[in-house]
Chain A
Amino acid sequence: MSEKIEKKTVAGITRESTQAMIDEVLAVYPEKGRKKRAPHLAPNDQLSGKSCVKSNKKTVPGVMSARGCAYAGAKGVVWGPIRDMVHVSHGPVGCGWYSWGTRRNLMSGQLGVDQFGMQFTSDFQEKDIVYGGDKKLKTLLFEAKELFPLAKGISVLSECPVGLIGDDINSVAKQSSKELDIPIIPCNCEGFRGVSQSLGHHISNDTIRDYIIETREFPEPIGPYDIALIGEYNIGGDAWSTKPLLEECGFNVKAVWTGDGEMEKIAATHQVRLNVIHCYRSMNYMCKVMEEKYGIPWIELNFFGPSKIRQSLRALAELFDDSIKEKVEAVIAKYDAEMQKVIDEYKPRLDGKTVMLYVGGLRPRHTIGANEDLGMTCVGSGYEFAHSDDYDRTAPEMPEATVVYDDASELEMEMFAHVIKPDLIGSGIKEKYVFQKMGLPFRQMHSWDYSGPYHGYKGFPIFARDIDMAINSPTWKLVKSPF
């Protein structure tokens, strides 16, 4: 989306004021830490359309980062949401237990029958570390196939010890695959690899490339409007908003990667006309592979808030014929009227309010527009695990000179919030209660705070209600005690 950037400013925020705020927090660091952190914090240069911070670097030890690990990116983000596969957390019990049901990627089907949103683990013990876990892995793959016969495949997600003790999950997977006649995907996503969740996404994309794509074919011929929805994880039911929306626009959504996902449809995605990607960070790799290898173009869209949805649907329609364009315009006209009612209800209470964001994947930029639809202004944004191409995409969305923070430490977020005093913070569970204790309204923007969906036209009324509820809850009036 390369429309002309309209300059946004915020009263009281200048490059100098933002830099002074950054310098104040950097002053708390020991010299080495300060040197490492400084390039990750900067005032936004909106019109440049370029990243103003360094990113995707090692976390500075001891600063209280919010980041996770490669395993989290692989199990929690990419593989976990595929509903009809058994996902084995291979290694000690913890990793699988912590990531069990904690992302809110909803799934249809019956648990343990044709849907497997459970915790499967090889539960490594001391002896598995000493003697290796390959034999145990093989046994458990056979047990999984026997007890869960409708599983379409099994992913083996390595935890730290597996890579350190030199197990060969790849050969166990290959051999067992043949014997059991189901795909068993080895994913070497040990938590110590890389600097954040991000490498886990990349490794998982690579395993989809190496083991999944092209192994299935749709029985019907490829139609002109066949597309796949990529980087949609169905948080709080998001895919159940976006998929029907695309279908209403005349598209045939053949596969969703990977929210409420089905392995065989993902495996046949080389047979679509276009890939529509939402979370660029976690799945751009496979979009690029499919473009190079099968000539499938891809387009990045934003499904948050009516303004961005409108822009996105029109950009999508541009790639198709008039029948799609007409349908898209009809859809926009139909829903814009509904969305205006939502705005009319909430905007009077939210107009002029400010929000600070600190999230993952795409939300630090993609939700800015939805907040603006409600009359709000973004006064700071940053990512846990982004790369510079994410920050390039963020610069034009954020107002000039507002603070950008990459892999922020808790102290940085706390000190920024003290200075900026936003009306709302959108971040994660580890941050939530810090800010609420400070009296600052908060919404979890990874998990939609146990609400959702937030995507699409179904999502915006819920998003608006939730933002209003967070900021205008009467409980905030009780914080200041009369004695």
Chain B
Amino acid sequence: MANNLGLAVKPVTTTPPEEVERVAAWINTEEYKELNFKREALVVMPPHACQPLGAELVAHAFEGSLPFVHGSQGCASYYRSTLNRHFREPAPAVSDSMTEDGAVFGGQNNLHEGLENAIALYKPKMVPIFTSCMPEIIGDDLSAFIKNARGKGLVPDDVPTPYANTPSFNGSHIHGYDAMLVSILQTLTDGKKLDGRCTGKVNLIPGFDANTGNFREYKRIFAEFGVPCTILGDISDVFDSPLDGTYRIYPGGTPLADAGDSINGKATINLGPYSATKTFAWVKDNYAGKHQALPMPLGVARTDALLLAISELTGKPVPESLKAERGRVVDAMTDAHQYMHGRKFALYGDPDQLIGTVAFLLEMGAVPYHILCSKGSKKVAKEIQELLDSSLFGKEGKVYMGKDLWHLRSLLMTDPVDALIGDTHGKFIARDARIPLFRFGFPVMDRVNLHRSPIIGYQGAINMVTAICNTFIDIVDQTCEDRFFEMMR
């Protein structure tokens, strides 16, 4: 039976071109912006995903680790394909494929059968388990289910099964990352704390970060110091594995023994104040050694802070090689300053990276103008505002929390800027505003190899300066009149 809505049958119509033109102009207006900012319920193009995506990312980041989604299989396929597209790498993860009967009887049978099959087929050393919506709503008791699985002998004793509740209707991917990471560390360090033992290593919690180049850069910095380091959740080899004719399902990740022993570390540094909050709070209460929280090291000053912290925590001086590198980045930034100075930027993303990017722009004399975080908080807003207040170049900056990319579009159209910094999802509004988009965020699904190009540290600052300034110069070359087309820029 058709027409269940009971609306009148009408002829097929075509929207007149002048009406399309009218609306196309209207959505760029101040009037539309006001209407757009009045939205209470509809969310349009939010630049954040749900908790389990972050949980899966960090569940991949340990040796022999097979992420396990307790919930609908479609969820697992969505997380996996997002990681595949961003890294252009495999993302092997399983789900226990809960369906309607799971909603009625709970997901224990699915979880048990799933664990038995996954372990037989993919021989993992660890199976981190996290949830999608369905088990969260019906109230599955993961702790009991996993205990029962062990009771039934479905999981070998030497295969840890940390688990995290990662409801999608709460927080975003960074909170799932945090919940899964703390559970993995709690599980792996259980019973490993030894009085008087010190590994001599520094533990590094990078926070949610999907740039394998950043991870390699952290390792290089520690190697320059001659300081052994355990990265808690190391994706560098997992999502940047060689093509040599052999597929390795687990090509890297933090060794489980190292992660277990990290509780006896000399010190632990957290670089994800907003994405590893719970993890670091737990680490502070439980880990030996010193604990230091730092911002994500974007730009020179925040990289300086990381190097000073490593030096102070280990008693080793900042090596000459890194001092020289610092000089080189300052040189690169000074050489290029004229192409960024005073330029206005709109930017959005997850809090840790967003705040760091604001700091970097201010160092270059650029103007962070529209700063938007779709899953922000008053604390994030306050921190960004303080940063803006600290600089001459921050005076014009405005902070928007809990807004989406359709809000940002209104801002770009009514109060234009020179460029946008974000992830691939920003490309539509950047095109409408005819400005370049710098893809420093996650995910990047439309450019190659950017996840291999670090943005943290001194090298990362050089990479950002290079990308931004050369793009601005390209735009001049592509758009200037012939008589202004010059050899030098």
Q: Which residue on chain B has the smallest CB distance to residue A262?
A: B12
Q: Which of B30-75 contact A (CB under 8 A)?
A: 32, 35-36, 39-46, 48-50, 52-53, 68, 71-75
Given A64-B93, A111-B428, A147-B42; A217-B77 close (CB under 8 Å)? no
Which residues of A sit under 8 angstroms from B35, Cβ to Cβ?
A: 146-147
User: In the complex the two chains form, is B46's CB within 8 Å of A150's CB?
Assistant: no
User: In the complex the two chains form, is B45's CB within 8 Å of A118's CB?
Assistant: yes
Shortest Cβ distance from residue A204 to the other chain B in the assembled complex, whole angstroms: 15
Shortest Cβ distance from residue A155 to the other chain B in the assembled complex, whole angstroms: 12
User: In the complex the two chains form, is A164's CB within 8 Å of B137's CB?
Assistant: yes
Other-chain residue from B82, B91, B117, B167 in contact with A60 (beta carbon distance below 8 A)? B117
Shortest Cβ distance from residue B241 to the other chain A in the assembled complex, whole angstroms: 7
User: In the complex the two chains form, is A178's CB within 8 Å of B122's CB?
Assistant: no
Interface flag for B102 (CB, 8 Å):
yes
User: In the complex the two chains form, is B74's CB within 8 Å of A191's CB?
Assistant: yes
Given A110-B20, A410-B92; A216-B133 close (CB under 8 Å)? no
Other-chain residue from A68, A102, A120, A268 in contact with B43 (beta carbon distance below 8 A)? A120
Compute how far the CA of A174 lies from the CA of B5 in the bound complex, rounded to whole angstroms. 5
Other-chain residue from A98, A143, A184, A414 in contact with B81 (beta carbon distance below 8 A)? A98
A-B contact count (CB 8 A): 308
B1-34 to A contact mask, C-beta < 8 Å, 1/0: 1111111011111010001100110010000100
Interface flag for B243 (CB, 8 Å):
yes
User: In the complex the two chains form, is B84's CB within 8 Å of A58's CB?
Assistant: no
Other-chain residue from B4, B52, B82 in contact with A211 (beta carbon distance below 8 A)? B4
Interface flag for A71 (CB, 8 Å):
yes
User: In the complex the two chains form, is A161's CB within 8 Å of B137's CB?
Assistant: yes
User: In the complex the two chains form, is B74's CB within 8 Å of A67's CB?
Assistant: yes
User: In the complex the two chains form, is A161's CB within 8 Å of B78's CB?
Assistant: no
Compute how far the CA of A136 lies from the CA of B40 in the bound complex, rounded to whole angstroms. 8
Given A30-B117, A100-B425, A437-B90; A214-B9 close (CB under 8 Å)? yes
User: In the complex the two chains form, is B15's CB within 8 Å of A114's CB?
Assistant: yes
Interface flag for B115 (CB, 8 Å):
yes
Q: Which residue on chain B has the smallest CB distance to residue A410?
A: B92
User: In the complex the two chains form, is B74's CB within 8 Å of A480's CB?
Assistant: no
Shortest Cβ distance from residue A288 to the other chain B in the assembled complex, whole angstroms: 15
Given A29-B117, A124-B169, A160-B137; A433-B90 close (CB under 8 Å)? yes
Interface flag for B172 (CB, 8 Å):
yes
User: In the complex the two chains form, is B116's CB within 8 Å of A114's CB?
Assistant: no
Q: Which residue on chain B has the smallest CB distance to residue A67?
A: B73
Q: Which residue on chain A has the smallest CB distance to residue B20?
A: A114
Given A191-B75, A192-B103; A94-B7 close (CB under 8 Å)? no
User: In the complex the two chains form, is A143's CB within 8 Å of B246's CB?
Assistant: no
User: In the complex the two chains form, is A62's CB within 8 Å of B113's CB?
Assistant: yes
User: In the complex the two chains form, is B247's CB within 8 Å of A434's CB?
Assistant: yes
Given A209-B2, A430-B77, A430-B91; A93-B9 close (CB under 8 Å)? no
Interface flag for A259 (CB, 8 Å):
no
User: In the complex the two chains form, is A215's CB within 8 Å of B43's CB?
Assistant: no
Q: Which of B64-115 contact A (CB under 8 A)?
A: 68, 71-75, 77-82, 84-85, 88-100, 102-103, 110-111, 113-115
The 7 closest A-B pairs by CB, nearest first: A69-B74, A94-B50, A62-B114, A61-B114, A98-B78, A62-B117, A62-B118
Interface pairs (16), CB distance under 8 Å: A61-B114, A64-B93, A65-B73, A65-B95, A72-B74, A93-B46, A93-B50, A102-B85, A113-B23, A124-B169, A183-B5, A214-B9, A215-B7, A414-B247, A433-B88, A480-B245
Q: What would 20 more interface pairs be, CB under 8 Å, given A72-B77, A125-B169, A147-B32?
A: A30-B120, A62-B115, A66-B77, A92-B169, A93-B172, A94-B49, A94-B50, A113-B23, A113-B24, A119-B45, A120-B42, A139-B41, A143-B40, A160-B133, A183-B7, A213-B2, A430-B77, A430-B84, A433-B89, A480-B244
